[in-house]
Structures are given as structure tokens and as C-alpha cells.
Amino acid sequence: MPIPTEIRLDKATQVLEVTFDDGARFSLPAEYLRVESPSAEVQGHGPGQKTIIAGRRHVGIMGIEPVGNYAVRLLFDDLHDTGIYSWEYLHEIGREREQRWGAYLDALKAKGLRREP
């Protein structure tokens, strides 16, 4: 499993830059990280239970806390802080960003929801 060699938050753009030891590098916007949070609030407790989180276009990251040697917890300014982003999950959502983001936008549209608060 790839391990991050650098995790850096660009506070001006609210983009988390993650570089892995396999050479992969991902730029993950705060909004994307928030709506893809691995928390039960977003993902549910089983397959098919994912909740579509709307209105987070301007969400920011207030802090990053290490969780052991395997993950970080992101503290968002909407007070969401329960998702534990493992190295594996960060790599996965980095690789799948275009697909996941497109599915999120489609789901918002289908439900009549918006990115704006």
C-alpha cells in the first residue's frame, strides 16, 4: 500500500496536496474531501447507504490530525471531523477523483440539490 511522503494544505485554495511513495500525487479540494468523507455520516453503515452532502462548495479545512501511522483526520469548518482518511482511502479517492466527482454532481442534480450553501 502506498504511503504519503508529504501532505500539505494550501490554505488559500483549500486544496490538500498528497504525494505518495509510489510517485502518485493528488490535489484534493476540501469540498471533494468533505463530500467523500469516510465517516458513517456520509458513507452509511453498509453498501448503498451513502448520503449525498449538498451545499459544501465553500467548506474549508481547519486542521489535519495524524491518526497513528496509517491515517489523518480532517477538521472541516462546517464542524465535520469524524472521518478517518487512511492512506489507502486517500490514494483511492485521488485515483478515482474524476469518476467520483462526476457521480457526485450527477447525484446532486438528480436530487435537485446544489453545491452552494
Pull the grid cell for residue 115. 453545491
**Picking from 3-12, 46-55, 80-89, 95-104, which range would have the lowest pLDDT averaged per residue?**
46-55
List, in order of start, the domains of the chain with CATH numbers: 30-111 (3.30.2020.30)
pLDDT tens digits for range 6-24: 999 999 999 999 999 999 9
Strand ranges for the chain from DSSP E: 4-10, 15-20, 25-29, 61-67, 71-76, 84-86
- Predicted pLDDT of residue 48: 81
Quick one: pLDDT at residue 49? Answer: 86
Q: What torsion do the CA atoms of 52, 58, 61, 67 make, to the nearest 10 degrees? A: 10
Tens-place pLDDT, residues 97-112: 999 999 999 999 999 9
